Amino acid sequence: MFLKNSKTNRHLEVLLPDKKQDIFIGAGSASWIIEKLASSDYSRFVVFCDCNIANLYKDLLSEIKDKLKPADIILVKSTEANKSIEFLNLCLERCVKANLNRNGCLIAIGGGIVGDVAGFLASVYMRGIDMVFIPTTLMSQGDTIINKVAISYKLLKNVVGSFYSPRITVCDTDFLQSLPKNSHAERN
């Protein structure tokens, strides 16, 4: 894949034991990857999007709907309650209803909670399908190389999990502009 602006944007290729992960970093890269995915061989897409991001970046969601024609868009509230087996089950049902198959792709747009839920789902759905992660917080962009994914069970936080790397991670630095200036911690 070529970079939108090779002078300001960066590409890292991480070779993992079972696959390669491409990480793209730079401004405007979310729209760029949507364009690239539109011409990919994926059979269909299911998008997981943080509710706050969906409200702040309506144009991006419209672009996704127009260019990728996802089989489903699952809006995720960034709360610990959504890192549950119950929410995972609802998402599984929606992926099955959307006829997402092994040649499909999950796209996750949001912070740590969205990345955890979508990443865990991608790791177990049909024994693992491709995922594209567009992290929107500083913490989730920094954690992108680790790619630990988990959900919680009852009162045990992150007790059900695995390590699962997205096929592509896009750290669009434009998302950082919407974060509070004085916040030191991420809400996930």
Contacts of 33 (CB under 8 A, 6+ apart): 24, 132, 134, 168, 170
Q: DSSP assignment, residue 84?
A: B
85-97 vs 112-124: helix crossing angle, rounded to 10? 60
pTM: 0.89
Q: Which residues pair with 20 in a beta bridge?
A: 15
Q: Which of 164, 138, 141, 139 is nearest to 151 (CA)?
A: 164
CATH class of 29-174: alpha beta
Q: Give the 3-state secondary structure of residue 130.
A: strand
**Tokens for 29?**
């890269």
Enumerate the domain spans of the chain.
29-174
Compute CA distances 84 → 87, 110, 113, whole Å: 5, 17, 11
Pairing of strands 72-76, 130-135: unpaired
Q: How far apart are CA 170 and CA 156, in angstroms?
A: 30
Q: How far apart are CA 127 and CA 135, in angstroms?
A: 23
pLDDT tens series, the chain, 188 aa: 455 555 678 898 888 888 888 999 999 999 999 999 999 999 999 999 999 999 999 999 999 999 999 999 999 999 999 999 999 999 999 999 999 999 999 999 999 999 999 999 999 999 999 999 999 998 888 776 677 899 999 889 999 998 899 999 999 999 988 766 665 444 44
